[in-house]
Amino acid sequence: MKILIIGSGGREHAIAWKVAQSPLADKIYCAPGNAGIEEFAECVPIGATKLEELAAFAENEKIDLTIVGMDDPLVAGIVDVFEAKGLRIFGPRKNAAIIEGSKAFSKDLMKKYNIPSAAYETFEAAEEAITYLKTAEYPIVLKADGLALGKGVLICQNSWEAEAGVKSIMLDKQFGSAGDRLVVEEFMTGREVSVLAFCDGTNVATMTSAQDHKRAKDGDQGLNTGGMGTFSPSPFYTREIDEYCQQYIYRPTMDAMKSEGRDFVGILFFGLMLTQNGPKVLEYNARFGDPETQVVLPRMKNDIVEVFEACIDGKLNDITLDFMDNAAVCVVLSSAGYPEQYEKGFLIDGLDTFKEKDGFYVFHAGTKKTEAGIVTNGGRVLGVTATGKDLKEARKNAYAATEWIQFENKYMRSDIGKAIEEA
């Protein structure tokens, strides 16, 4: 088969690495890809949101299967564009990707179908939001309705902060049109867990759990980022919690989407918070998580191409997902300053050390190939993943491997997976 992967981050590198192991994959392309993905795929310089160009490429090259990693093309309707041309593609159609594309949509869906989540209000006018926030209970959470690179969420401690937040999201449009509507949500506390699931429109099959670390600094301080590191499995996600979530969250979400005429095919990502009152949904994403994918896929035993095919054909019930009985930790190496200002263009040293080392992976995110070598080219630069017999060993291995890589302005959190020690 000829396979095209769409995206350019650590997530797509992990997907390309996994697809490359499938005997079904004869030739892999990635658009636009990055310097690391080139090891497994031919990178094609077409942007991930150039839907028509991507479809034309797939048609010309006779691509058998396209896999979409990123949210923007999904929310923009890439699956509909490909399907209209009779091209086979893995991901939700536009009317289903809205579960990530609009937080107001997902909150209304959860309310209508009694799926546990935080209480909320939606606003279309800044003045109304500000009036509401004057007498609200704090802390409180403000969310831009649309896509905002995982950064459209503000946790406010008082009404002054909330008012400033409303202004920046709704009036100054810090996140562009994503801030046309605002969701104001009850603040919840508890451990966070990410559960990714394959979906075929009717059936949902969850993968092993993971935990992300969204804040930029140690001790969960600093700004929200796209994710600074992950571990898998989460020791806090017990069998009982899984049973509860299967019954009250995963299955009902699939059924709800079907009832709405929005059959979900693709990866559904459940961002959960384990509160004192039980697990609740923080958010849905309509694609693989980044960096969750970088710890989940190295533990997956199945041929991932077979699973993608079963989802598209509505035959997920024929597949049993199987994960290794080990653990994985991913530490993101970023450019100092991310998620705000940072410099790029620094030479990266030590990438070759990962070659031929079992259980150690370096997934590229913001990198670029130049004549001088591979250089930093983004906020999140690399994801260093290591496996181990348990989380403690995986964590030790991952941090040891971060030392193999050197570049100017290298920054990482030192406490990825530290919570494991409390489990």
The residues of the shown chain that bind ligand AMP, judged by CB under 6 A, are 118, 141, 143, 150, 153, 155, 185-188, 192, 214, 224, 271, 282-283
User: Which helix (H) or strand (E) covers residue 5, if one does?
Assistant: strand 2-7
> Phi and psi of 28, rounded to 5°?
-120, 135
Give least dist CB 284 to ligand AMP, A: 9
Please, which residue, 282 or 300, has the CB nearer to ligand AMP?
A: 282
Residue (82 or 123) nearer to ligand AMP, CB = 123
Pick what 254 binds: ligand AMP, ligand GLY, none; C-beta below 5 to 8 Å, kind-dependent. Answer: none
263 touches which of ligand GLY, ligand AMP, none (CB within 5 to 8 A by kind)? none
User: What are the residues binding ligand GLY (CB under 6 A)?
Assistant: 150, 212, 227, 285, 289-290, 292
Q: How far is the CB of 285 from ligand GLY (least distance, A)?
A: 5
Q: How far is the CB of 371 from ligand AMP (least distance, A)?
A: 39
For residue 64, the partner it binds in ligand AMP, ligand GLY, none, with Cβ less than 5 to 8 A by kind, is none
Q: Which two tokens stand for residue 282?
A: 């923080």
Shortest Å distance, C-beta 323 to ligand AMP: 23
Partner whose binding site includes residue 116, from ligand AMP, ligand GLY, none (CB under 5 to 8 Å by kind): none
Question: Pairing between strand 89-90 and 120-123?
Answer: unpaired
Q: Is 304 exposed, middle or buried (0-12, 13-18, 19+ CB in 10 A)?
A: buried
Whether residue 346 contacts residue 376, with contact meaning beta carbons closer than 8 Å, is answered with yes
HSE value, Cβ hemisphere, 13 Å, CA-based, for 118: 24
Minimum distance, C-beta of residue 118 to ligand AMP, in the bound complex (Å):
4
Instruction: State the DSSP code for 323.
Output: B
**Of 396, 332, 393, 397, which Cα lies nearest the Cα of 360?**
397
Site of tokens 């590191």: 229
Least distance to ligand GLY from the beta carbon of 227, Å? 4
Local structure of 216: helix, strand or coil: strand
Contact 91, 312 (CB under 8 A): no
| Helix axes of 94-101 and 103-112: crossing angle, nearest 10 degrees | 100
Q: Which is nearer to ligand AMP, 211 or 294 (CB)?
A: 211
Q: Which is nearer to ligand AMP, 11 or 344 (CB)?
A: 11
Q: How far is the CB of 190 from ligand AMP (least distance, A)?
A: 8
Stated as kind and residue range, the H or E segment containing 410 is strand 410-411
For ligand GLY, which is the closer residue by CB, 263 or 283?
A: 283
- What is d(CA 280, CA 150) in angstroms, rounded to the nearest whole number? 19
* Cβ-based burial of 86 (10 A; exposed 0-12, middle 13-18, buried ≥19): exposed
Q: d(Cα 130, Cα 355) in Å, to the nearest integer?
A: 54
Residue 225 interaction partner, one of ligand AMP, ligand GLY, none, beta carbon < 5-8 Å per kind: none
Q: Give which of ligand AMP, ligand GLY, none residue 290 binds (C-beta under 5 to 8 Å, depending on kind).
A: ligand GLY
Q: Biggest alpha carbon distance in the chain?
A: 61
CB of 154 to ligand AMP, least distance (A): 9
Q: Which is nearer to ligand GLY, 194 or 367 (CB)?
A: 194
292 binds, among ligand GLY, ligand AMP, none (CB under 5 to 8 A by kind): ligand GLY
321 binds, among ligand AMP, ligand GLY, none (CB under 5 to 8 A by kind): none
Closer CB to ligand GLY, 292 or 309, in the complex: 292
**DSSP class per residue in 134-154:** HS--SSEEEEESS--TT--EE
Closer CB to ligand AMP, 160 or 187, in the complex: 187
Measure Cα distances from 83 to 55, 58, 88, 90 in Å: 9, 11, 7, 10
* 289: partner contacted, choices ligand GLY, ligand AMP, none (Cβ within 5-8 A by kind): ligand GLY
Q: Between residues 38 and 186, which has the closer beta carbon with respect to ligand AMP? A: 186
- Least separation, in Å, of the C-beta of 96 and ligand GLY? 17
Q: Contact at 8 Å (CB) between 156 and 165?
A: yes
- Distance, CA of 208 to CA of 223 (rounded, Å): 27
Q: Which one of ligand GLY, ligand AMP, none interacts with residue 100, CB within 5 to 8 A by kind?
A: none
Shortest Å, Cβ 298 to ligand AMP: 23
